[in-house]
Amino acid sequence: MEMLKMNNKLNFYIVVTIILLSIPSLSNAYDRQAAYDYANLWYSSGNHTCGNYIDCTPWSYWGWEICSYPSHGGDCANFVSQSLIAGEHPYLNTGDPCRGYPCGKEEIGAKRLGDCLVSKGWERTCGYLAPPPSDIKIGDVLIYHQGSCNDWTAHATIVMYVSGSDVRIACHSANQWNKPYTYLSASHPYYEWLHYPDATTELIMNGGFESGSTGWVLSGNFYADSRFSYPHTGTGYAYLSNPDGTPGNNLVGTMYQTVTLPSAATSATLTFWYNITSQETGGTGYDVLNITIQNSSGGYLATVAVYSNLNKDTAPGNPYYHQQSFDMTPYKGQTVRLHFLGTTNASWPTTFRIDDVSILSVTTDVESPVDLALPSSFTLSQNYPNPFNTTTVISYCLRKNAHVRVVVYNLRGQKVKTLVDEQKPAGEYQTTWEGRNDSGEEVASGVYFYRMNAGDFSQTKKMVLLR
C-alpha cells in the first residue's frame, strides 16, 4: 500500500486592492507549479532572512542572471510578482523587466499589483473576511486590505496550499510562511482573492454554422447555411430537410465533425441546441435524429441523445430550441467524431434543426495540493521493522518528478516482487512488502534485497524476513 505524505502543503495568494478594468483574454501560459517552486526555493535557500534587501541579493528572476545587478525581493508584492513571472505568467508591464516588476515599478505595492492582475484577466473576489472562492488553487493570490477593498494599506501573499477550506499562504519572510489565510484578520480583515482562470478551449469549428458547412462533413439531406430564418442565434444553422428547406419524407442525412480532446483536460463538455418541427400526429416515433460519439474511423462509442417526432415543438412558425449537454471527459486524449444521423419515413414530414454546437475543454494547471517541504535529494531508507515477520515498510524520497521502480530480489538476484513502477511527483512516499512474490505466494525466510531506481538515482538495501 502506498501513501503520499502531504506535509506542509500550501497555496499562493497576493494581497492587493483592485480597480476593475476591461478584462482581456489570457494566453493560459501561467505554470502554477513553477511559481510554487520559485517561492519554495526562496524560502528554502534562506533569502527570506534578508533584513536589508537593498544590500542583499535574493534568488530572483531579475537578479544578476537577468539584469546584472541585485534584485530587491524583500517586499511582499515584489516577492509575489517574481513568483508569478517565474511561473511564466506574461509580463504585466510591456517594457524592460529590469527594475520593472510586473507593473513597471520596483516597489510595486500590493494594491497596484492587484490592479495589474485584474487588468490581465485575473478573477477578483473581495469582501470583509471573504472566504476563499471554490476555484482557488495554488499559485493564486490573496491581498489583505486594512480598511476596505480599496485601501492602499495592503499586503500581498501567494497561495501555497488548498485542501477544502484549509487554504494557506506565503510571503517573503519566515514568519509569513504556511499561514492560514485568516492570519491577518485582526489588522487587515478585507480579503481580496485573485484567481488565474483555468484554460478553456473550444474544440468545435463553426459550431454556429455562420460559415455554412465549414468544418463539418455533411451527406444526404443534411444542410448548413443561413437561407432560412430559423436559427437559435446568429443567422446560420444545420437542418435535415428537402433541398428547398421544406420538411420531407423518406429523408436520410448525416453530419459529423472530428475533434481531438486534449489529454491534459480536466473536463470536457458537449452542448448543442436542437428543434424538431413535425406534422406527424400519431403516437409513434417514425422520424428519428440520433446523436452519437464515434471513434475516428466511425465506430460507435456512445449515444448522446435520440429524438423523434414525438419530441416536436407544438408551436408552428418560429421554432423553439432546447439545449442538450453531454460529458466528453472520458474521451480526453482521443480523437472522436460527433455524429448526427437523421431519418424520416414516408408519412407526415419532419424537420430537425441543430445550432450552436460546442465542445468546451477545461484544463486546470494544478489538480491537487503540493508538498511545500520537497526533499532536497533522492533517498531510500532502511525498511522498518528489520528483521520482520509479516510486513515491513520501505520509505523513499523524490527530489523531483521521476519514474520510480522499487523491486525486491532474492540472494540469487532473481526478482521476487515489484512494489512500485510508475511516474510520481516530488515528495515523500512509503510502500509495504508483505513477504509475497508477484504471484501472491508467501516466500521463505531469508535475506532479501530491495532496489530503488529513479532517474539517474539507484540504491540497494538489505532486509531479513523471519517467519
* pLDDT value of position 216: 96
**Set of cell numbers at residue 321:** 430550441
Alpha helices by DSSP H, 87-140: 110-119
Q: Give the pLDDT band of residue 309 (cuts 50, 70, 90).
A: confident
* pLDDT value of position 6: 30
Q: Is it the case that residue 53 has pLDDT exceeding 50?
A: no
Would you say 326 and 270 are in contact if contact means Cβ atoms under 8 Å apart?
A: yes
pLDDT digit string, tens, across residues 289-301: 999 999 999 999 9
Q: Give the pLDDT band of residue 108 (cuts 50, 70, 90).
A: low
Q: Give the pLDDT band of residue 315 (cuts 50, 70, 90).
A: low
pLDDT digit string, tens, across residues 355-386: 999 998 877 644 333 444 445 578 888 888 88
Tell me the whole-structure pTM to 2 decimals.
0.47
Q: Is it the case that residue 272 has pLDDT exceeding 90?
A: yes
Which H or E element spans position 34? helix 32-45
Which range has the worst mean pLDDT, 20-29, 335-344, 443-452? 20-29
Q: Going by DSSP bridges, is the β-strand pair 190-195/222-225 parallel, antiparallel, or unpaired?
A: unpaired
Q: In this prediction, what percent of the chain has a pLDDT beyond 90?
A: 34
Q: Give the pLDDT band of residue 7 (cuts 50, 70, 90).
A: very low
* pLDDT value of position 340: 97
Q: Give the pLDDT band of residue 163 (cuts 50, 70, 90).
A: confident
Which of 116-130, 336-350, 367-381 has the highest mean predicted lDDT (pLDDT)? 336-350
Whole-angstrom distance, CA of residue 121 vs CA of residue 360: 19
| 79-107 average pLDDT score | 56
CA Rg value for the chain: 30
Q: Is it the case that residue 94 has pLDDT exceeding 50?
A: no
Average predicted confidence (pLDDT) for the chain: 77
Q: Is it the case that residue 54 has pLDDT exceeding 50?
A: no
Would you say 140 and 133 are in contact if contact means Cβ atoms under 8 Å apart?
A: no
* pLDDT value of position 424: 84
| 227-236 average pLDDT score | 86
C-alpha distances in angstroms, 383 versus 7, 202, 256, 393? 21, 50, 57, 5
Q: Give the pLDDT band of residue 460 (cuts 50, 70, 90).
A: confident
Whole-angstrom distance, CA of residue 59 vs CA of residue 323: 53
Q: Give the pLDDT band of residue 107 (cuts 50, 70, 90).
A: very low
* pLDDT value of position 69: 45
Which range has the worst mean pLDDT, 85-94, 175-184, 226-235? 85-94
Taking the CA of residue 159 as centre, how many other CA atoms within 13 Å lie in the half-sphere pointing to its CB?
A: 31
| 34-45 average pLDDT score | 69
Q: Give the pLDDT band of residue 8 (cuts 50, 70, 90).
A: very low
* pLDDT value of position 88: 66
| Beta strand residue intervals within 196-296, DSSP E | 199-202, 217-220, 222-225, 237-240, 252-260, 267-278, 288-295
* pLDDT value of position 253: 95
* pLDDT value of position 254: 96
Residue 43's SS3 state is helix
Report CA 404 to chain centroid distance, whole Å.
24
| 427-454 average pLDDT score | 90
* pLDDT value of position 89: 67
Q: In this prediction, what percent of the chain has a pLDDT beyond 70?
A: 76
Which range has the worst mean pLDDT, 181-190, 197-206, 235-244? 197-206
* pLDDT value of position 208: 92
Domains and their CATH numbers in the chain: 3-198 (no CATH), 202-363 (2.60.120.260), 375-465 (2.60.40.1930)
**Amino acid at residue number 101:** Y
The helix-helix angle for 76-86 and 110-119 (nearest 10°) equals 30
Return phi, psi of residue 354, to 5°.
-130, 140
* Residue predicted with more confidence, 315 or 414: 414
| 11-32 average pLDDT score | 39
288: CB partners within 8 A, 6+ apart: 306, 307, 308, 342, 343
